[in-house]
Amino acid sequence: MFTGIVEELGTVDDREGSRLRIRATTVLEDASVGCSIAVNGCCLTVVELGREGTEGWWEADVTAETYGRTNLGDLAPGHRVNLERPVRLQDRLGGHLVQGHVDAVGTIVRAAPDLQVRMDPALLRYLVEKGSITVDGVSLTVVEVLDDGFTVAVIPHTADVTTLGIKGPGDRVNLEVDVMAKYAERLLSPWSGSVR
């Protein structure tokens, strides 16, 4: 589980086949092989890591399914990515509960600070005004639900410390809707007649 509070911007160092290498510092402080790190909101497993001077790197094996269902398939060396370590039970929950399981890829219509994202209309039922959404791993509050997406307000700090400050119209972003809404729908489906 994650919180959607990005800890650092990493840089894609290499992508060869299924192997993705990312340069980072903060998220490697207590990392080991087998631990999880969210990349643009997508949970990946560390399979190798190392240090070179003051900076380090880590690698993950990314399946074709993950490349195809997230914006990780768009990544190339030099691209910046949002990184977050999993939440620990003693940590504050500054964002909202995030699984790191991307539901869909959306497209930016309008850049931050008044970020507008177009998304699959089938997922709109999970969005509510003032509810939570994760955009490229960043926990945000929905300002308005639209017919084809939503808007969120991105504060200057968030724009400065995440990729949301450098992405613009046409860029693809990973989206994770609030898991609590999905559970509520599933629990209520026997009484509503819509089993999913």
Q: According to the model, what pLDDT value does residue 171 have? A: 98
Edge-to-edge order in the sheet of strand 19-24: 42-45, 36-39, 80-84, 8-16, 19-24, 55-61, 48-52
Query: Of all helices (H) and strands (E), which one includes residue 35?
Result: none
Q: What is the pLDDT of residues 12-66, one digit of tens each?
A: 999 999 999 999 999 999 999 999 999 999 999 999 999 877 789 999 999 999 9
Q: Report CA dihedral (78, 82, 85, 87) to the nearest 10 degrees.
A: 180
Q: According to the model, what pLDDT value does residue 91 have? A: 78
Where do the domains of the chain lie, and which CATH numbers do they carry? Answer: 8-84 (2.40.30.20), 104-192 (2.40.30.20)
Measured CA to CA, the distance from residue 33 to residue 165 in angstroms comes to 31
Show the tokens assigned to 110: 């309008």
Q: What is the pTM of this model?
A: 0.91
CA distances from 50 to 3, 11, 21, 24, 55 (A): 26, 15, 11, 10, 9
Is the C-alpha dihedral spanning 75, 11, 62, 96 positive or negative? negative
Q: According to the model, what pLDDT value does residue 194 have? A: 60
Q: According to the model, what pLDDT value does residue 193 have? A: 66
Q: According to the model, what pLDDT value does residue 97 have? A: 83
Sheet strands (E) in the chain: 8-16, 19-24, 36-39, 42-45, 48-52, 55-61, 80-84, 104-110, 114-118, 132-135, 138-145, 149-153, 172-177
Show the tokens assigned to 54: 């003051």
Measured CA to CA, the distance from residue 67 to residue 102 in angstroms comes to 11
Q: According to the model, what pLDDT value does residue 88 have? A: 84
Which residues does the chain have with pLDDT short of 70? 193-196
